[in-house]
Amino acid sequence: MFRERTFLFDAMARHRVGQSRPGFKVVLFGVASVVLCFLHLPISSRQALAIPGSGREDMPVKRRIPKAEDPAVFTTDVFIPLDETIRKLDVLLQDERVVFLRAGVASGKSTLAQHLCTTQPSKYFGVHAPLAKDATIFEMWERKMRAAVWGQNSNVKDKDLQDMIRLIYDNDQVLVFDECHLLFACPEFHEQFLKKPSCLKRRPMVLLLSAASEGTDQQGRTYLTPAAVTAKYMWTPPIPHANELVDQLAEADVYLSQDAVAFFMDFCAGHRSLFIRSMEWVQQKQSGDSTRWDLTRAQGEVSQAWDTDNWTETPDDSLMGKLQTVRAIRVNGAFSDPQSIPQQFVDILCEGPTAGMDANLRRKLTLVGFTLPVVPATDRIPEEFTPLDWAKLGTKYGVANYMMASYYRQALAKKRQLTVDVDRSPTSCTDLLLRALPYLLFADVVAIQWDKFGIRSDVSQEELPFEVHYTHAAVRELKRLVGNTNSLESTTKGKVDIYTTLEDGSTFAIEAVMSSRGATSIAKHRDRFESASMTNYAHAQHKCLLIIGKCGDMREIVGKVRDGIEVVGLAPNPSHTGYYVYVKRQGEKVVDFHIPCDGVARGFSWKDEEPFFEISSAQKFKYIEPGSAAPQRPPAVWVCQLGSPDGKDFKVIGNPFQVKGVLANVDDLKEAIEKKEKLTIAASKIDIYSKEDGRWVKEDKMSESLRFRCLSILGCRPAVRADCYGYMLPAGAAGAA
């Protein structure tokens, strides 16, 4: 009955009452009134839709957990509320007119589009893209828009595109393009409304949704986000108040307390598809037992079920097995086989976000779900719509989420023997800690225990693990990444939580304390480093007090600790998908930054200029067995010399030439150029550039694999295929321009 009623009102809405056919409004209002006399709408999710006298008035409605990759239906499924999102979006659209929201694959973009167009069908019109082969054809897009605005059976098909755009504008309505990167391949069509039509005072409202910012056509030409689209945002679907979901989940036989629901949302990084799959696992674990899991029970169950080193062997019905069915963790299509994973993604996976990607490659990696633009993190509640100009030079792209990074590091290590090199020479305790933090995931830190209620997490009054849990996890990782690391247990010389000795004899002593223990306890831990009898503390060359707690007043706590040693505050988010780090600089001045748990060891160093510190990757790609995606190495690489008279614009000097040999990376290319040109300077002094989006960009990573490019970017012999790079000599060197 509900489905029939939905179709009826959808048909009514699609005829756009009163918009194009005056005189029909009264008739339709009468029909609607008659229909409503025989229906009563549900006033709660537990009340059935019914016809009076049918005997079904009090039947409870059971919700279902939607299938993987299916948009959730708010009337029948467990549906994460979107009311606040829509309210904010309405304001954005009124102000900006054309809004582009980007988010990762399977993150809820299609659910948002469908929800807007089904709950407000007289305001939001979903324009479905034509087939990929037709994406460049104006008439195909016009036909799709006509179907969305007028309806399939309308008798007003003689209206042209400008009539439709004017109608949308006059009635304050919105065109919705899901997978909008397909739209970009037809500028002739989208320029009709993304730019301001001459006959209108403002642009019509348009909502664009996609994971990718570039489209392509059948010939391989790439189309960037149109310049007219200036309101560009990364969409981070907000974690709703847990009480909005507790009752819905119970209707699907999933029984969790509010803080347990909030934990799962955090654990899944706010990713809606991952959250829904985790609820499917809880439903299976509870098997109809209506006893609600509280926070510690939920944490304990997840920790027990998690094994970071065992993604590829986990059963299909396990938590990790269910999560990896989502494209947000394991991509499908051409890259579903680990043998086909492209090297460029491997580099990002091992070394962290990069700005050095070709536009076409960037589109492919983003479209399948591998990468997303990196949004700067803060210790404040993240904005749902974060402005980001992803076309800006230097915008970095990283692995889409921490679970994907964890999955592919393990899968590629097992299937293709992926290995990395980590810098084993930290220069400070902060630098040392940043080697380990990206590896300290939830299950690696949280300890579990059993009691009469089942599995539970062992947590402090701050609902965080204790100091010992963090330090033991850090010791395990630092031993693997850096070398000789232990905890010292001498009752006379000092029980140091983390003690590292490097090959050159440098020693690092780190003492940890929970912020909740108070200022007096923190001061006592600080004083251990100045106790003459506690030589394990006093004689260490690098000393650090590590304070662990929640963000809140962490900056103030760190700033008040007495100087003389390093002081670091550590504030993990609730599910340990990342850490906010606070480092005391001098006096009460504190710098802060965010370290994601993406499996990429970081480095820390102080600088003389703002922001006074630098975070860098301390990890490099080392080896992976060649896969099916690895291109055959060309017999030669084409290069040309570059000059830059003004230090900004580049010009090609002379003719391109070939260098030959086994050229695995940028460092090899430098040596080959030095040998070929018989240069009088060391190869390390040569700067290598590649072209990206029409600009010469310096290659900073010497281990960067050489990319296969077309010689046409240098403007000569476009039919020849080769790797094309530019090189520049230092000023004053023989042959320098």
pLDDT in tens, 180-204: 999 999 999 999 999 999 999 999 9
pLDDT at 19 over 50: no
Residues 424-438 have a mean pLDDT of 97
- What's the pLDDT score for residue 29? 41
Residues 117-138 have a mean pLDDT of 93
Q: How far apart are the first and last CA of the chain?
A: 78
Please report which confidence band the pLDDT of residue 132 belongs to, taking 50, 70 and 90 as the band edges.
confident
Q: Which residue has the higher pLDDT, 103 or 52?
A: 103
In eight-state DSSP terms, residue 684 is: G
Calpha distance 97→99 (Å, rounded): 6
> Do 83 and 240 contact (CB within 8 A), yes or no?
no
- What's the pLDDT score for residue 48? 42
Please report which confidence band the pLDDT of residue 422 belongs to, taking 50, 70 and 90 as the band edges.
very high
Please report which confidence band the pLDDT of residue 731 belongs to, taking 50, 70 and 90 as the band edges.
confident
Among 355, 348, 353, residue whose Cα is nearest residue 395: 355
- What's the pLDDT score for residue 392? 87
Residues in the chain: 737
CA distances from 454 to 249, 289, 298, 448, 637 (A): 21, 13, 10, 10, 62
Amino acid at 215: G
User: Which residues, including other chains, have CB under 8 Å from residue 675's CB and lie 6 or more apart?
Assistant: 659
| Omega cis (within 30) before 611 | yes
Among 437, 406, 421, residue whose Cα is nearest residue 581: 437
Least confident window among 25-34, 97-106, 114-123, 263-272? 25-34
- What's the pLDDT score for residue 379? 53
> Do 99 and 85 contact (CB within 8 A), yes or no?
no
- What's the pLDDT score for residue 722? 39
> Do 330 and 105 contact (CB within 8 A), yes or no?
no
In eight-state DSSP terms, residue 705 is: B
Least confident window among 183-192, 293-302, 668-677? 668-677
Calpha distance 285→276 (Å, rounded): 14
Write out pLDDT tens, residues 327-354.
999 998 889 999 999 999 999 999 999 9
Residue 265 DSSP SS3: helix
Residues 489-501 have a mean pLDDT of 95
User: Which residues, including other chains, have CB under 8 Å from residue 232's CB and lie 6 or more apart?
Assistant: 100, 102, 213, 225, 387, 388, 389, 390
- What's the pLDDT score for residue 25? 40
Residue 565 DSSP SS3: coil
Amino acid at 186: C
pLDDT at 443 over 60: yes
Calpha distance 318→316 (Å, rounded): 6
pTM metric for this prediction: 0.77
In eight-state DSSP terms, residue 380 is: S
Element counts in the chain: helices (H) and strands (E): 22, 29
Residues 250-263 have a mean pLDDT of 93
Least confident window among 67-76, 264-273, 672-681? 67-76
Amino acid at 357: M
Retrieve residue 473's tokens. Answer: 């996890």
Please report which confidence band the pLDDT of residue 158 belongs to, taking 50, 70 and 90 as the band edges.
low
Please report which confidence band the pLDDT of residue 34 belongs to, taking 50, 70 and 90 as the band edges.
very low
Calpha distance 546→511 (Å, rounded): 6
Retrieve residue 390's tokens. Answer: 């992803």
Residues 640-650 have a mean pLDDT of 84
Find tokens 């674990």 and name the residue. 285
Write out pLDDT tens, residues 687-709.
998 877 677 888 877 656 565 44
Write out pLDDT tens, residues 532-585.
999 999 999 999 999 999 988 999 999 999 999 999 999 998 889 999 999 999
- What's the pLDDT score for residue 13? 41
Calpha distance 663→675 (Å, rounded): 13
User: Which residues, including other chains, have CB under 8 Å from residue 505's CB and lie 6 or more apart?
Assistant: none
CA distances from 233 to 103, 206, 229, 375 (A): 9, 14, 11, 10
Please report which confidence band the pLDDT of residue 381 belongs to, taking 50, 70 and 90 as the band edges.
low
Domains and CATH numbers, the chain: 1-61 (no CATH), 81-236 (3.40.50), 243-313 (no CATH), 333-422 (no CATH), 429-600 (no CATH), 636-728 (3.10.20)
Calpha distance 213→366 (Å, rounded): 8
Find tokens 């040569």 and name the residue. 686
pLDDT at 32 over 80: no
Find tokens 């009340």 and name the residue. 47
Calpha distance 526→205 (Å, rounded): 58
Counting Cβ atoms within 10 Å, is residue 329 exposed (0-12), middle (13-18) or buried (19+)? buried
Q: Which residue has the higher pLDDT, 239 or 152?
A: 239
**Angle subtended by helix axes 402-416 and 343-351, to nearest 10:** 120
- What's the pLDDT score for residue 46? 41
pLDDT at 397 over 90: yes
Most confident of 331-335, 500-504, 646-650: 500-504
Q: What is the 3-state secondary structure (H, E, C) of 86-107?
A: HHHHHHHHHHHCEEEEECCCCC
> Do 163 and 198 contact (CB within 8 A), yes or no?
no
Average model confidence (pLDDT) across the chain: 84
pLDDT at 377 over 90: no
Least confident window among 49-58, 72-81, 346-355, 611-620? 49-58
Residues 401-417 have a mean pLDDT of 96
Q: Which residue has the higher pLDDT, 356 or 197?
A: 197
Residues 477-481 have a mean pLDDT of 97
> Do 479 and 485 contact (CB within 8 A), yes or no?
yes
